Amino acid sequence: MSTTLDLVEDYYAACGRGDADAVRATLQPDLTHYYLAPNIGSRPVRSADHLARKVRASADRLGARWQVDRFIEQDDRAAIEWAMTWSPAGAAGPIITRGSEWFALRDGLIDEVRSYHQVLSEPSDLDGFPYADQRYSDHDRVSAAKSDLGPAPSRSRLPLIVDYYDACTAADAERLTAFFTDDVTHYFLQPNVGSSPVSGAEHLARYWRKVARMLQARWVVESIIEQGDDAVIEWSMFNKPAGASERIVTRGTEWYVFDGDKIAEIRSYHRNLDQTSELAEFPYADRGFSVIGRESSSIHDAAATPYQEVSP
């Protein structure tokens, strides 16, 4: 088993126990934890001591417990899908919030966390995803979805995902269809507008053609981790909602499962809003991520593909 997975699971077990000392033992003292905004409590946490106190309060007050459902790593980075069981104030019983987090490691400890999830007093998960069949955790079920995905692929799939995103921006349904297996399914985080899963290569291609034209959307790949037949990316979608005077950006993370060089499944974690949604106070420009006014990243020249202008 990966020593990084051991570290992440030790961190979450300590969080669930409310053991501040054990939490601190997994973290660099100057750690920063970023959260997706707008959300309740989305300001970043900028020290191990602060984060240890915060998770202890969540464990004590809300009965919060975490499980790691999926894990992927490459070099000094890792990403997970996770489930948090907790009891919001006034709730009849515990609920499950699901999300995805990216970890940066330094000297064997967690140095940074970037979290993509929704903070709501109702359940939040991937709409229509077969959690039981895929052996993910539940209220009374321990996760059995973690497995060794194997080494990084001999040939990176970053160019393939970049080409896929450029085809989305170009609203090229014929080109998009060629990226998918016939039975591809794209899952989205709920509750969100339009969270129902989209299945089938032609259906998914037409879906992105419609979104690209409706929102004048441009997609950007920001970072990637690859292992075996899986990949996870951080992404940005620049767009202009109906009636808006300026472009906004929606940021999230997506998990890909490949069948050869075809995309067989995508699991997406983000907030779908008519305002910018991104990690609060994250230094996007300094990290080479795209920003408003520069819709390209250090690994994806997305601005080279024109987005679909709406005719006046």
pLDDT (tens digit per residue) in 9-20: 999 999 999 999
Same domain as 190, residue 97 = no
Q: Which of 126, 149, 183 is the last residue of a domain?
A: 126
Cis bond upstream, residue 241 (ω within 30): no
pLDDT (tens digit per residue) in 225-271: 999 999 999 999 999 998 899 999 999 999 999 999 999 999 999 99
Give me the phi and psi of 220, to 5 degrees please.
Answer: -135, 130
CB burial readout 4-25, b (16+ within 10 A) else e: bbebbbebbbbbbebbbeebbe
Same domain as 63, residue 196 = no
Residues ≥6 apart with Cβ < 8 Å to 184: 199, 200, 201, 204, 262, 263, 264, 265, 266
How many structural domains does the chain have? Answer: 2
CB burial readout 252-284, b (16+ within 10 A) else e: bbbbbbbeeeebbbbbbbbbbeeebbbbeebeb
Same domain as 294, residue 228 = yes
Same domain as 98, residue 20 = yes
The CATH number of the domain where 284 resides is what?
3.10.450.50
DSSP code, position 310: P
Predicted pLDDT at 2: 76
Same domain as 202, residue 96 = no
Please state which of the ranges 148-162, 261-275, 277-291 shows the lowest mean pLDDT: 148-162
SS3 assignment, position 254: strand
Task: State how far the Cα of 214 lies from the Cα of 310, in Å rounded to an integer.
Answer: 8
Q: What is the mean pLDDT of the chain?
A: 95
* Cβ(258)–Cβ(231) below 8 Å: yes
Predicted pLDDT at 150: 84
Same domain as 229, residue 109 = no
Predicted pLDDT at 140: 87
Residue 142 counted as domain residue = no
Q: Mean pLDDT over residues 211-229, rounded?
A: 97
Residue 229 counted as domain residue = yes
Task: State how far the Cα of 59 lies from the Cα of 174, in Å rounded to an integer.
Answer: 49
Predicted pLDDT at 147: 79
pLDDT (tens digit per residue) in 69-118: 999 999 999 999 999 999 998 888 899 999 999 999 999 999 999 999 99
pLDDT (tens digit per residue) in 32-80: 999 999 998 899 999 999 999 999 999 999 999 999 999 999 999 999 9
Task: State how far the Cα of 221 lies from the Cα of 87, in Å rounded to an integer.
Answer: 35
Q: Mean pLDDT over residues 192-205, rounded?
A: 96
Same domain as 120, residue 176 = no
Residue 285 is part of which domain span? Answer: 158-304
Instruction: Flag whether pLDDT at 309 surpasses 60.
Output: yes
Instruction: Flag whether pLDDT at 310 surpasses 80.
Output: no
Same domain as 106, residue 179 = no
Alpha carbon 265 to chain centroid, angstroms: 14
Task: State how far the Cα of 301 lies from the Cα of 166, in Å rounded to an integer.
Answer: 9
Q: What percent of the chain has pLDDT over 90?
A: 89
Instruction: Flag whether pLDDT at 212 surpasses 90.
Output: yes
Task: State how far the Cα of 34 lies from the Cα of 43, in Å rounded to an integer.
Answer: 7
